[in-house]
Chain A
Amino acid sequence: MDTTNIPEEPSEMTEEMKSWMEKAFQMAQDALDNGEVPVGCLMVHDNQLVGQGRNEVNETKNATRHAEMVAVDQVLDWCRKNDRNSTQVFENTVLYVTVEPCIMCAGALRLLRIPLVVYGCRNERFGGCGSVLNVAGDDISDTGAQFKCISGYNAQKAVEMLKTFYKQENPNAPKSKVRKKE
Chain B
Amino acid sequence: MAPSADNDAHTSQWSLTPVLSPEEEQELKEYTSGNINPPLCLYFAAPIIDKKQISRLTQILSLQYPLPDCMKHLKRVRAQQTRLEMLLRPASLEEKMTFSKDSGADCTENAGICRSENIRKDDDTSQVPSLTDIFKDGAIDLSGLGDPFVVSVPMRSARNRKEQQVWAGIWPSTYHEKPKTVNLEEASHGGVSDEEKLRIGAHMRRAIEAAQLNQARGGKGIGAVVVDQESGKVLAVGTDRSGEKRELLLHACMVVIDMVARQQGGGAYECLAGLENEQQPKMHSVTKDDEKQIGDEKENRKRTKESSEHCTGELPYLCTGYEVYVTHEPCIMCSMALLHSRVSCVYYGCCSPGGALGTFYRLHCHPGLNHKFLVFRGVMENECKALDVGQEV
With a 10 A CB-CB cut-off, give which of B314, B316, B336, B353 has the most chain A CB atoms.
B336
Known contacts A76-B246, A142-B354: A61-B316 contact under CB 8 Å: yes
Q: Report whether A142 and B333 are in contact in the complex, using a CB–CB cutoff of 8 Å.
A: no
Assuming A135-B332, A142-B392, is B267 touching A61 (CB within 8 A)?
yes
Residues of chain B with a CB closer than 8 A to A133's CB: 332, 361, 363, 366, 368
- For B353, what are the chain A residues with a Cβ–Cβ distance below 8 Å? 141-142
Which residues in A have their C-beta under 8 angstroms from that of B390? 142
- Report the bound CA distance from A104 to B336 in whole Å: 5
Interface residues on A, range: 35 or more
Partner of A141, one of B258, B264, B334, B360: B360
Distance (whole angstroms) from the CB of A49 to the closest CB of chain B: 20
Interface presence of B97 (CB below 8 A): no
Quote the shortest CB–CB distance from A115 to chain B (angstroms).
16
CA distance A105 to B336 in the complex (A): 9
> Is B331 in contact with A143, judged by CB distance below 8 angstroms?
yes
A-B contact count (CB 8 A): 137
Q: How far is the CA of A182 from the CA of B266 in the complex (A)?
A: 21
Contact: A111 with B366, CB < 8 Å?
A: no
A60 contact set on B, CB distance < 8 A: 258, 261, 266-268
Question: Which listed segment binds A: B58-66, B337-345, B375-383?
Answer: B337-345
Which residues of A have CB within 8 Å of B335?
A: 107
B369, A142: Cβ atoms under 8 Å? Answer: no
- Given the interface pairs A62-B258, A142-B391, the reply to whether A76 lies near B248 with Cβ below 8 Å is yes
Give A81-112 as 1s and 0s: 1 = Cβ < 8 Å from B's Cβ atoms.
00001110010000000000011111110111
Q: Are B258 and A169 neighbours in the complex by a CB distance under 8 Å?
A: no
CB distance from A58 to the nearest CB of B (A): 7
B67 on the A face (CB < 8 A): no
Shortest Cβ distance from A85 into chain B, in angstroms? 8
**Contact assessment for A126 and B369 in the assembled complex, using a CB-CB cutoff below 8 Å:** yes
Measured in the bound complex, the distance between the Cα atoms of B361 and A135 in whole Å is 10
Q: List residues of chain A with CB under 8 Å of any chain B CB.
A: 56-65, 69, 72-73, 76, 80, 85-87, 90, 102-108, 110-112, 125-126, 128, 132-133, 135, 138, 140-144, 169-170, 173, 177-178, 180-181
| Given A104-B339, A143-B360, 9 extra CB contacts under 8 A | A58-B316, A61-B264, A62-B318, A62-B341, A63-B340, A107-B331, A141-B354, A142-B352, A177-B312
- The 7 A-B pairs with the shortest beta carbon distances in the complex, nearest first, are A61-B266, A107-B333, A104-B336, A141-B353, A62-B261, A107-B332, A143-B354
